[in-house]
Amino acid sequence: MPDLPDWWQGFFLVGSDITIDVNIEASAVILEVDIASAVTLEVDITAQTVGNLDINLAASAITLNVNLEAQTANIDISFADQAVAVFDAAKWFAHQAEQVFVTGSATIATGGAGTVGTRTVPAGKVFFIVGSGYGFEGGSAPPYGSVLTIQLDAVVTIRVGSQAGMAVIFDTPIRATAGQVVTQSVYQASGGNLTCRASFWGYDEDA
C-alpha cells in the first residue's frame, strides 16, 4: 500500500440511506464520487479558479440546476436520451409565460402619423423586441400606403411599410436598455382618417 499523507482518511459506506456533509477548504482538491441508487448531491464551490469539473450522470430522470458566476465559462454538454428540449431565449421566456406584449390603437389623419403603443423599459432589465405588427380597422377611405416605425428614445430603429398593414418577426431582436422608451408609430395615406391597431412583443432579461 502506498505511503499516504497524515491527513488521509479512507472510509467505506454500505447502506440504503446515507447523508454525507463534506466541507473542504484547500487550494487544490480532487474529489471522485461514484454513486448508485437514489441520491441528492449538493455541491457549493467558492473559489477564484475552478479547474476541471467532470460530471457523468446516468439515470432515468435527472433534474440538474446549475448557476455559474464567472468571467469565463466553457460548458460542453452531450445528450444521449429519447427526448431533449433545448430552448432559445425567446422560446424559453414564452415557455415560462414571461413574454411582454404592448398593444394600442389610434385614429390617424391621412398624410400623418400617430403613436400606437409605447413602453419604458423597467430598471434593471433589458427588453428584447422580437416582433411587431399593425393593421387598419376602418375609416373614411381605404389606405393606399402606410409605414410602421419603432423608435428607441425617438431614434427610428425599424421602418417597414405596406398598403394596409403587416407583421414582421425579427431574426435579430431589437435591444432596448433600462429607461429607454420604445415607441411604435404608424403613418398612413388614404384621403381620410383611419383607425389603426398595432402591437410589438418580446421579453425582458435581467441587465
pLDDT at 4: 55
Which tens digit of pLDDT belongs to each residue from 132-168? 999 998 777 888 999 999 999 989 999 999 998 999 9
pLDDT at 67: 67
**DSSP sequence for 173-197:** EEEEETTPEEEEEEEEESSS-EEEE
Q: What is the phi-psi region of residue 143: left when phi exceeds 0, alpha when psi lies from -120 to 50, beta otherwise?
A: beta
The structure's pTM equals 0.60
pLDDT at 57: 63
CA distance 102 to 199: 5
198 inside domain? yes
* Cβ neighbours of residue 2 closer than 8 Å, sequence gap 6 or more: none
Say which CATH number the domain at 112 has.
2.60.120.230
pLDDT at 124: 94
What are the residue ranges of helices labelled H in 82-169? 89-95
Range of the domain at 178: 95-206
109 inside domain? yes
185 inside domain? yes
pLDDT at 90: 74
CB–CB of 128/202 below 8 Å?
Answer: yes
- The tally of domains found in the chain comes to 1
46 inside domain? no
Taking the chain (207 residues) in runs of 10, the rounded mean pLDDT of each run is 56 60 63 62 62 63 65 68 71 79 95 96 95 87 92 94 93 95 96 93 91
